[in-house]
Structure 1
């Protein structure tokens, strides 16, 4: 007796099922809502790593510039220059020597010495041009004053000591230069802070765009989770953790690149870093260490806010 086609199909189905291995329920795990890796992750990591690299590099330059400004300010604070003009038939060299002697006795002055005539000539030569003979010109002499670091003498004290000796002299205590240096250092600090803030906003915008794309690709799954009773905060937290981890990896890559470049500049520049204007120290490279945490924090906030707003609109 021949079997019907339906019976033959059932028999073949039983054979196929018998050949399949049994399902291990204990080892079975559902697929994650957000996979650990995504085809778009390399591009996202690259963009965030570049932004973190620029942020760390800006931080290193701001630190180096602030150190340079502090060094210049310290040098100018501890020094003063006195311009001495001869009068009453006195020779310029004699007037400078007498001014140095008068200033050496002022409290708060560590040392006062008259500079050589050639140094005075070199200072005025850029203004007068290449003049072969300056002996006939009334070139003033200079007195370099080194002030006490603890209790430096003021410009008024130096001027009073010179007037007491009847000297025609002008004291330059470098206060004008100090104000300019401090103002420039403030501009550098605020500019660096502004650039750092712009980079953080750009990184947040990139993460927000990636979060929006991830939600759009999983819109149906989000709706199913809603039907299953999942709260908006739970779904948003999945995106928050996902992109925080990606940003932390990218931040580590960008920080490592900036530290490597900083170390290279330190080696090339020697003891003064790149130049005396940007003296990078080895300890400055530690400033890039918080970058992965900051990148993860910015990404977490951006992903959380974006996901929460979009999930509510689904």
Structure 2
């Protein structure tokens, strides 16, 4: 039961971690894909404020754009404050200015045509549709899912091998009894049910224990993040994993994992017993081996 509990804990922890990372990546991806950015660099004789307004108006002419917002000097200064400090003089420092355009995700505009129109209206304007970041986030989420599925497959494989060895050990200690029962007419299915019922009981206890500990881990992690909010450790964890929380879908996945572990354990025990009984039948049907034994 302890081994099954450990395997269930690792499997459920992996499932919850993958679910959390995918939810965070989807949130980032959704936030990025809802906006495009127009970047305008300072140029000799250019009225930056007028150029920003012109770029915004050109972008909003396209079907699929919802809103446009010019990032003013105060907001730009706040963005650069961690690197350049406060009190920036934009007349002396050639800092690019931004226009953020909100788009309709279900009906995005023609970005190529928009970029060309911006170049004609404001030479040097650069349209960033963030597709590179979206593709990277999608690739990261897919890689995380693949790694998680691989880890769960390894955990299940290790658990199946453990159950096989445990069943064989139990059969070795009771082999004489199994042979007598089978000899006096007990079917293989009857004998197998006795073992599978035992291992089903053990597997359910171990799987629920491991799954419960995994759920408790996520609850404690969420409490820790909320308790130590705005601390360096919490900020780093939030930047890496987002909000340490799993939804009801992940809890449902943990419950399904518990059921799968119990089913795999029961099926493995049954198949192991049936194979042993077939070996007993082969020995009984071979006179030479029976005489030798």
User: RMSD over aligned Cα, in angstroms?
Assistant: 2.9
| 1:136 maps to which of 88, 92, 107 | 92
> In the superposition, relative to structure 1, how do residues 122 and 292 fare at CA in structure 2: closer, same or farther (>3 Å)?
closer
Inter-partner Cα distance in structure 1 for 2:106 and 2:279: 66
Kindly report which structure 2 residues correspond to 1:17-166, keeping only aligned pairs within 5 A, or say none.
Answer: 45-87=1-43, 89-117=45-73, 119-120=75-76, 135-166=91-122
Contact 2:54 2:122 in 1 (8 A): no
> What is the TM-score normalised by the length of structure 2?
0.81
Aligned to 2:170: 214
| 1:305 maps to which of 260, 263, 271 | 271
Note the C-alpha offset of 1:125. Answer: 7.9
Aligned to 1:242: 198
SS of the residue 2:238 aligns to: coil
Q: Are 1:287 and 2:287 counterparts?
A: no
Contact 1:79 1:146 in 2 (8 A): yes
Inter-partner Cα distance in structure 1 for 2:198 and 2:25: 42
Contact 2:18 2:145 in 1 (8 A): yes
Note the C-alpha offset of 1:266. Answer: 2.7
Inter-partner Cα distance in structure 2 for 1:232 and 1:256: 35
Inter-partner Cα distance in structure 2 for 1:151 and 1:232: 63
Aligned to 1:265: 221
Contact 1:159 1:171 in 2 (8 A): yes
Contact 2:163 2:268 in 1 (8 A): yes
* Deviation string, structure 1 residues 224-283 (Cα, Å, up to 9, x no partner): 123212233332232222212210111111111112222222333349997362432452
Aligned to 1:275: 238
SS of the residue 2:40 aligns to: strand
Inter-partner Cα distance in structure 1 for 2:51 and 2:82: 24
**Greater length-normalized contact order (CA 8 Å, ≥ 6 residues apart):** 2
Inter-partner Cα distance in structure 1 for 2:150 and 2:103: 37
SS of the residue 1:289 aligns to: helix
SS of the residue 1:113 aligns to: strand
Contact 1:262 1:285 in 2 (8 A): no
SS of the residue 2:30 aligns to: helix
Q: Are 1:184 and 2:140 counterparts?
A: yes
* Deviation string, structure 1 residues 101-151 (Cα, Å, up to 9, x no partner): 322333222222221335546667888899976643432221111112442
Note the C-alpha offset of 1:87. Answer: 4.2
Note the C-alpha offset of 1:57. Answer: 1.2
Inter-partner Cα distance in structure 2 for 1:133 and 1:110: 32
SS of the residue 1:275 aligns to: helix
Contact 1:263 1:282 in 2 (8 A): no
> What is the TM-score normalised by the length of structure 1?
0.76
> In the superposition, relative to structure 1, how do residues 75 and 132 fare at CA in structure 2: closer, same or farther (>3 Å)?
closer
> In the superposition, relative to structure 1, how do residues 120 and 130 fare at CA in structure 2: closer, same or farther (>3 Å)?
closer
Of residues 131-140 and 166-175 in structure 1, the stretch that sits farther from structure 2 once superposed is 131-140
Q: Which segments of 5 or more consecutive residues in structure 2 lack a partner in the other structure?
A: 281-293
Contact 2:32 2:134 in 1 (8 A): yes
